[in-house]
Amino acid sequence: MIEGIIVQTLVKGSVYALLALGFALIFGVARVLQLSHTAFYMLAAFGIYTFADLLGWSPVVSIILSIVITTGLGLLVYKLFIDRVREHHVTVMLITLAVAMVFQELMLIFFTGQYRSAPAFVTGYWEILGVKVAFQNLLVFVGAGVVLLIIWALLSKTRLGIAIRATAQDTEIANLMGINVSMILFTVMGIAAGLAAVAGVLVAPTLILEPRMLWPPFVMVMAIITLGGLGSVKGAVVGAFILALVEVLVVFLLPTGAFLKGAFALLVMVIVLIVRPEGLFGVVFEEERL
């Protein structure tokens, strides 16, 4: 059972980490809560379904196409809606929420609410410590790990990464130092939508697909980034694994766990916030302090 818990936590945690990382990046850099984030995850999963199952294209082509299209949509949403109202926090939240609803309703019209499943990219399993780990789950874990490493390298080693971090620290000063802030925000939005798309693509074969699938991870991502500290990249990854562990433990140990897993994860978040209001790795900004 312990092995099962570990494997499940690692797989779930890596998906949550991918989703939360993108969300934390946008918040950290642009200071906007982009609530349509998990809609891109849903769109990418449906992209895999469309290309690999309906059209029967090869997995590699489907993966690349899904990610590219979803990222493009993310950039479009940013340019059309978010960029204009970026300064108004409430408006951004509402508008991105409405965008998420638009995507969900459009997918409901095209695909209906029927449950669907996408074909696995790889079949078979390994026995690790007596637990059967499907290659698909292993692919989720390894894929997420590689992407997280790439993002880490991008943020810490490249000129673009330095520019992104500078913008996150102080937008106005970054602008004065000759960084094209609106271009950085645009890039970050692209990276975030891309991360959501990668998460969606990786888990699509392991999940039941339907347009409303964006809400359960939506709530989890909110809890994770609040727990880790809004805008903290490290916090997003650590928080993802903590809450994934809580969720898996509740499902394994409690009889009615499937209903309570979300409640427990959120409870952990509330408790952490009461003890430490800025989250685990959060930074308190002067204007946000009480």
Partner 1 sequence: MAIPGRLIALIFFVLLFLIPTFTQQPYILRMLIFANMFVIFAVSWDFVSGYTGQLNFGHALFFGVAAYATAMLNRGAPLGPHWPIWATIPIGALAAVVAGVAMCLPALRLRGPYLALVTLAFPLILLGVIFANTQFTGGELGISGIDRISDSRVTDYYISVVVMLVSVFIMWKLTDAQSGLVRTGIILHAIREDEIAARASGINTIRYKLFAFAVGGFFAGIAGAMYAHFLRIAGPSSLDLTLSFQAIIWTVFGGIVSIYGAVVGVYILYPLTESLRFISQFRMLIFAVIVILILLFMPEGIAVWIRDKIERQCPRCKLTNVSWRHTCRACSTDLY
Planar angle of CA 150, 137, 279, nearest 5 degrees: 55
Of 55, 98, 162, 253, the residue at the interface with partner 1 (CB under 8 A) is 98
Kindly write out the interface string for residues 211-250 of this chain, putting x where it contacts partner 1 by CB under 8 A and - elsewhere: ----x---x--xx-xx---x--------------------
263 near partner 1, judged by CB under 8 A: yes
User: Closest approach of Cβ 133 to partner 1, in Å?
Assistant: 29
44 near partner 1, judged by CB under 8 A: no
The secondary structure of 269-289 as a DSSP string is HHHHHHHSTT-SS----GGG-
Question: What are the contacts of 62-67 at 24+ separation with CB within 8 A?
Answer: 63/121, 63/201, 66/197, 66/200, 66/201, 67/194, 67/197, 67/198, 67/201
Residue with Cβ nearer partner 1 (67 or 225): 225
27 near partner 1, judged by CB under 8 A: yes
In the DSSP assignment, the letter for residue 53 is: I
99 near partner 1, judged by CB under 8 A: yes
The rounded distance, in Å, linking the Cα atoms of 158 and 4 is 38
84 near partner 1, judged by CB under 8 A: yes
The rounded distance, in Å, linking the Cα atoms of 7 and 2 is 9
The rounded distance, in Å, linking the Cα atoms of 148 and 237 is 9
Q: Which stretch binds partner 1 (CB under 8 A): 4-12, 89-97, 172-180, 182-190?
A: 89-97
The residue whose two tokens read 């993108």 is 22
Q: Which residues bind partner 1 (CB under 8 A)?
A: 27, 33, 81, 84-85, 88-91, 93-95, 97-99, 101-102, 104-106, 108-109, 215, 219, 222-223, 225-226, 230, 256, 259-264, 266-267, 269-270, 273-274, 277-279, 288, 290
